[in-house]
Chain A
Amino acid sequence: MTNPFDILAPYLPDVLEPFILPLLQIGVVFLGLSLIVAYIVYAERKILAHIQVRLGPMRVGPHGLLQPIADGLKLLLKEDIIPRGADSFIFWLAPVISVMAAFTGFALIPFADNFIVTDVNVGLLFVIGISSLGIYGIILGGWSSNSHYPLLGALRSAAQLVSYEVALGFAIVSALLLSGTLSMSGIVKAQITHGVWFVFVQPVAFFILFVAAIAETNRNPFDLPEAESELVAGFHTEYSGFRFSLYFLGEYAAMILVSSIAVTLFLGGWTRPFQSVGWLDFLKYAPVALFAFCTYWCVAHERKMPRAPEWRWQRLMLLGLGGGAAVLALVFVAVPPVVDAVQGVFWFLVKVCAFLYGFIWFRGTFPRYRFDQLMRLGWHYMIPVAIANTIFCGVGLVLWRSLGWSFAGSLWIGTLLTLLVALLLSGQTEAPEPTVTRRGS
C-alpha cells in the first residue's frame, strides 16, 4: 500500500525531508480532531436529549447541526474574568496544560496502517505519561482560582485521577504482555498476527480499562469533581469564555484519546471485524452504506420540513449535506482503490465512535458515585482485580508458550481465575458510615 504522501517527496529539499510527512499528518490529525471534538459536544447534547425523551438543539441549522459553531462563537466573545487574588500566570497556564496533554497524545495513535505521526518504540509508555500530565491542568486550575470550591474540586479530582491511573496502568500491562511490544502499531500488528482482538481473550482487562478511562476523564458516573449540583462547577468554576472552552475541549479530546487507546490495545485498531474471514469481504463497502444512509436520512428529513419560505435555508443545507454524502458514496463505489485506502481510518473511527457513544450513554443513565464510594471502588476493587488479571494473564501466557495450548484457551483460563478473584472480592462488606470526628484529636 503506497503512502499517498510519498508523491510529494521528490519535489522538496532534502533537509526538510524528515519533517514533511509528520507535519502533514499532524495537520490532518489536529484539524480533524478539532472538528470532531466540536461535533462530539453536539452529539452528546442530541443523544442525551433523546435518552431523556426530548429533542435537543434543533434551531441553529437543520436539526441543530450548526450548533457547535454558535457555541464556539459565543464562548470566544464572552467577557474574560480573572478572579481577584488569582495567580494570573498559573490561571492562564492551567487550561493550556490540559489541552496540550490531551492533544499531544494523538501523535502516538495509529489511525491506519501507514498513518501514525511518530511510531516511538515506547509509544504506550509515552501515552500513559502524557495523559498523566493532564492532572496538572486540573490541580493548577483549581488552586489558582483563589476560591474554596475550585480548590476542593481540584484536589478531589486529582486524587481520583491518580487512583484510577494505577488500575489503568495494570490493564494496559495486560495488553502489553499479550503483544510483547510497547509500540502502538506493534500492538495492532500483534492482534493481526494472533488473529483475534485482545478484547476476546482479556475481557476483564478491557473492562477495567474502560472503567478507569471513564474515571480518568472525569465523566459520569465519576464526575463528582465537576458536577453541577455538588461543587458548583468544581475546578473550572471561575473560568469563563475562551478559557472554559479550552478546558471543555481538553476534556473531550482526552475522552477521544482514551477511547483511541482502548481501541488500539483491545479492539484491533484499524482492522475490520472478521478480517480473516473471506466471505465477509463485502463488509469493506460499509463506508458506502454509511454515506448512502446519510443521503437517505437527509432527503427524508428535508421532506418532513415545513414548506414556508423562512425554512428555505435549512432545507437547502440539508439537501446540500445529502448531496455531498451521495457524491462520496458514488466515489467510493466507482473508484475501488479509494475504498481500500480509507478502510483503516474508517474502521478505527467507527470503533472510537462506539466508545464515545458508550461514554455519552453512561452519562445519561448512571447516577453519580459519592467520593468515598469512588475511592473505595478504585482501591478496593479495581486495583486488586487488575493485579490479579496481570498475574493470571502471565499464567495463561506460560501455558500457551511452554505447554503449547491454544492462545485463546490458555488466556481464558487466566480470565476465569481472575473472575474468581473478583467474585471473592465482591463479598466485602461496605465500610461503616464515618462517625463525627472529635475536635482536637
Chain B
Amino acid sequence: MFYLFNFYVLAALTVISAIFVITRRNPVHSVIFLIITLLSLALLYVQLQAEFLAAVQIILYIGGIMVLFLFVIMLVNLDVVARQAPFNRQWHIAGLAALVLLGELVAALYWGRGTPTLPLAPPTALQPNTELIGVTLFQNYLLPFEIASVLLLVAMVGAVLMAKRR
C-alpha cells in the first residue's frame, strides 16, 4: 500500500516536471525541472530495488551531465533567445504525431494484458544489488564494459576538440 502511494506521488512529480522541462522559456528553468525529474526517477529506481542505479543516476546524470548543461547555458549568451518564440512552426503536427505514439504505446500495453506473465519476483530476489552488478559486469559483460570506456575516451577527445578555439 505504501509502495503504491509512493509510486503515484513520484510518477506525478516526474510527469509534471517533464512537462515543465519542455514548456519553459528560460533554459535554466528547464534544467532545474529536468533535475527534479531525474531525482524522482532515481527514487523510483530505489523502489525497484536498484539502489546502485539510483546512486549512479544521481552522481553521473544529475551531478555530471546537468552541470555540463548549466555550464553551456551560462557560456552561451541566451538573452536574445529568451525573447524569441519557444515553439517552432510545426508544433501542431508534432503534437498529433506524439499523441499517435502515446496511443500506440498504451494500446500495446492494453492488448497485452491477458497474456500470462512471469510471476513478480519476491522483494529479496535481487539482493545484494551492487555485488551482483559488479560480478555480472565483469564476468558476462566485460567486452561491452571495455568498449564503453573507449567510447567515453572518444567522446572526451571529441568534445574537447570541438569546443576548442581554433
Known: A126-B58, A129-B63, A132-B59. A121 touches B51 (CB 8 A): yes
Are A129 and B55 neighbours in the complex by a CB distance under 8 Å? yes
- Residues on A with C-beta less than 8 A from B56 are 125
Are A182 and B71 neighbours in the complex by a CB distance under 8 Å? no
Are A90 and B51 neighbours in the complex by a CB distance under 8 Å? no
Write out, one digit per residue, whether chain A residues 122-137 have a CB within 8 A of any chain B CB (1) or not (0).
1001101110110110
- Residues on A with C-beta less than 8 A from B74 are 139, 143, 151, 155
- Residues on A with C-beta less than 8 A from B29 are 89-90
Q: Tell me, in angstroms, the Cα distance from A90 to B128 when the chains sit together.
A: 39
- Residues on B with C-beta less than 8 A from A87 are 26, 28
Q: Tell me, in angstroms, the Cα distance from A121 to B50 when the chains sit together.
A: 11
Write out, one digit per residue, whether chain A residues 141-174 have a CB within 8 A of any chain B CB (1) or not (0).
0010000000100010010001001000000000
Please classify the interface of chain B as helix (H, G, I), strand (E, B), loop, or mixed, using the class held by over half of its residues: helix
Q: Tell me, in angstroms, the Cα distance from A165 to B63 when the chains sit together.
A: 10
- Residues on B with C-beta less than 8 A from A143 are 28, 70, 74
Q: Is A429 part of the binding interface, using a Cβ–Cβ cutoff of 8 Å?
A: no
Known: A132-B59, A139-B70. A125 touches B52 (CB 8 A): yes
Are B67 and A162 neighbours in the complex by a CB distance under 8 Å? yes
Q: Which of B32, B55, B67, B165 contacts A135 (CB 8 A)?
A: B67
Are A125 and B55 neighbours in the complex by a CB distance under 8 Å? yes
Are A133 and B52 neighbours in the complex by a CB distance under 8 Å? no
Please classify the interface of chain A as helix (H, G, I), strand (E, B), loop, or mixed, using the class held by over half of its residues: helix
Are B28 and A120 neighbours in the complex by a CB distance under 8 Å? no
Write out, one digit per residue, whether chain B residues 17-48 have a CB within 8 A of any chain A CB (1) or not (0).
00000000010110010010000000000000
Q: Which of B28, B52, B129 contacts A90 (CB 8 A)?
A: B28
Are B32 and A121 neighbours in the complex by a CB distance under 8 Å? no
Q: Is B130 part of the binding interface, using a Cβ–Cβ cutoff of 8 Å?
A: yes
Chain B residue nearest to A126 in the complex (CB)? B55
Among B106-155, those with CB < 8 Å from A are 128-130
Q: Tell me, in angstroms, the Cα distance from A122 to B46 when the chains sit together.
A: 11
Q: Tell me, in angstroms, the Cα distance from A126 to B52 when the chains sit together.
A: 9
Chain B residue nearest to A135 in the complex (CB)? B67
- Residues on A with C-beta less than 8 A from B129 are 121-122
Give the number of chain A interface residues (Cβ < 8 Å): 26
- Residues on A with C-beta less than 8 A from B28 are 87, 90, 140, 143
Q: Is A441 part of the binding interface, using a Cβ–Cβ cutoff of 8 Å?
A: yes
- Residues on A with C-beta less than 8 A from B55 are 122, 125-126, 128-129
Q: Tell me, in angstroms, the Cα distance from A151 to B55 when the chains sit together.
A: 29
Are B58 and A133 neighbours in the complex by a CB distance under 8 Å? yes
Known: A122-B55, A126-B58, A129-B55. A135 touches B63 (CB 8 A): yes
Are A139 and B67 neighbours in the complex by a CB distance under 8 Å? yes
Chain B nearest CB, measured from A150 CB (Å): 11
- Residues on B with C-beta less than 8 A from A182 are 130
Q: Is B166 part of the binding interface, using a Cβ–Cβ cutoff of 8 Å?
A: yes
Q: Given contacts A129-B59, A130-B58, could you give 6 more A-B pairs where the C-beta distance is less than 8 Å?
A: A87-B28, A89-B29, A122-B129, A126-B58, A136-B70, A441-B166
Closest 6 CB pairs of A and B: A132-B63, A125-B55, A129-B58, A129-B59, A122-B55, A122-B51
- Interface on A for B, CB 8 Å cutoff? 87, 89-90, 93, 120-122, 125-126, 128-130, 132-133, 135-136, 139-140, 143, 151, 155, 158, 162, 165, 182, 441
In the assembled complex, 20 residue pairs joining A and B whose CB atoms fall closer than 8 Å, in A order, are A89-B29, A121-B130, A122-B51, A122-B55, A125-B52, A125-B56, A126-B58, A128-B55, A129-B58, A129-B59, A132-B64, A133-B58, A135-B67, A136-B67, A140-B28, A140-B32, A162-B64, A182-B130, A441-B165, A441-B166
